[in-house]
Structure 1
């Protein structure tokens, strides 16, 4: 496909995951940053993503939202990048595990909330410890989530692990720490991170004389 790639994002969003994936793909792309609030709720952007949130990827006439879907789409749109294995069973499983039970459990922990045990069947996921146990079991079998090779599943779900380790919502189990160290050393992630960090809004200046 030769259509242009445009990513709508914000440097403080899950758009960072989509940008990492774009860097792994290695095709030219454009990033259009949107501020939270008016820009994301403007009619022009709501025509792209009616949810009024980022990320959103526009590839020619095609629009893809949700970071895991963007990762899966780009892996299929550019197979030469080798980011989707021929056997998609483990790949799909762990790609959407990150966007499903893992992220839900991490968010609840960050909010200080807990689903009562008798309601867990209703929400479709268990405690965060169970999700981490499942990840540990898989990573004891293979160096990457979908097998012996890095894939889009590592971009999407690996990002959730990395953020959780950084912000303290995921306990630093040795297997998860080693996995994140392995994938976070990739040059594509470094390029994406540097670009997004450069676009971060400046920190407000401290008042004269230092902090009040």
Structure 2
């Protein structure tokens, strides 16, 4: 029997990234919805993720947390989905480069800006992203080299980067650059993205 794939999430979280990736992979999975401050901080879930945050996946005995890591893991363990360039392929470099650039410098730059914080003058080099403007310029470059960030095929990197850009455009946390808008329109026009969005929207609390 194949290892069960369990997805821990909340529809108002970065779990939407992992949901999109799971729908792209196309393997059966079971969802456990957790609530902030209660089941997300309960002992049972802290045994899965000591941070008490979502998303997380459990695949058999393997637990993976952090949205970018989940995307990379699922692409590797389900290669038949074609969501990662082959090992040794030229595209493997930009695939890793831009996925983890978005997970590190871009995530930090956007979060700090939302909080109203920036580095003191002259100390920007201590930050992984330097200045917010530098991170945005590099992200613009990443999505402007072709249809997708790792060549001419959609990959797990586009799930992660697309999610970051999509949220940023919707909530106003990144600039509405033409390159970002074109890229988001392209990657969000996928059946798996639409399925994932419909599932999570249906799980949102009813007012």
* Contact 1:97 1:157 (8 Å CA) reproduced: no
Give me the whole-angstrom Cα distance separating, in 1, the residues matched to 2:42 and 2:191.
35
Instruction: Work out the CA distance in 1 between the residues paired with 2:36 and 2:9.
Output: 10
TM-score, normalization: structure 2? 0.95
For 1:36 and 1:5, the matched residues in 2 are separated by 22
User: What is the 5 A alignment of 1:112-151?
Assistant: 112-151=116-155
* Per-residue CA distance 1:101-120 (angstroms, 9 max, x = gap): 01111111111211224222
Residue 40 of structure 1 deviates from its aligned partner by 1.0
SS of the residue corresponding to residue 63 of structure 1 reads strand
Question: What is the count of residue pairs matched by the alignment?
Answer: 203
**Superposition pairs of residues 95-114 of structure 1, within 5 angstroms:** 95-114=99-118
User: Counterpart of 1:26?
Assistant: 26
Give the Cα separation in 1 of the matches to 2:131 and 2:202: 36
Say which SS state the counterpart of residue 95 (structure 1) adopts.
Answer: helix
* Superposition deviation, residue 135 in structure 1: 2.0
Q: 1:123 Cα deviation (Å)?
A: 2.3
Structure 1 residues 176-200: Cα deviation after superposition (integer angstroms, max 9, x where no partner): 1000000011110110011001001
Aligned mates of 2:140, 2:17 — CA distance in 1: 22
**Counterpart of 1:76?**
76
1:53 aligned to 2:53?
A: yes
User: Hey, what's the Cα distance between the residues in 1 that align with 2:144 and 2:196?
Assistant: 28
Question: Per-residue CA shift, 1:119-153, capped at 9, x if unaligned?
Answer: 22222212222122112223332111111110000
Larger Rg: 1
What CA RMSD, in Å, does the superposition of the two structures yield over aligned residues?
1.2
Q: Partners of 2:112 and 2:47 in 1: how far apart?
A: 31
Q: Which residue of 2 aligns with 1:189?
A: 193
Bigger shift: 179-188 or 138-147?
138-147
Following TM superposition, the consecutive aligned residue runs of length 4 or more in structure 1 with deviations greater than 4 angstroms are: none
Distance in 2 (CA, whole Å) between partners of 1:147 and 1:133 is: 19
CA distance in 1, matches of 2:198, 2:97: 30
TM-score, normalised by the number of residues in structure 1: 0.92
Displacement of 1:53: 0.6
Deviation sequence 1:14-34 (CA, Å, 0-9, x none):
000000000000001111110
- 2:98 aligned residue (78, 94, 101): 94
- Residue matched to 2:66: 66
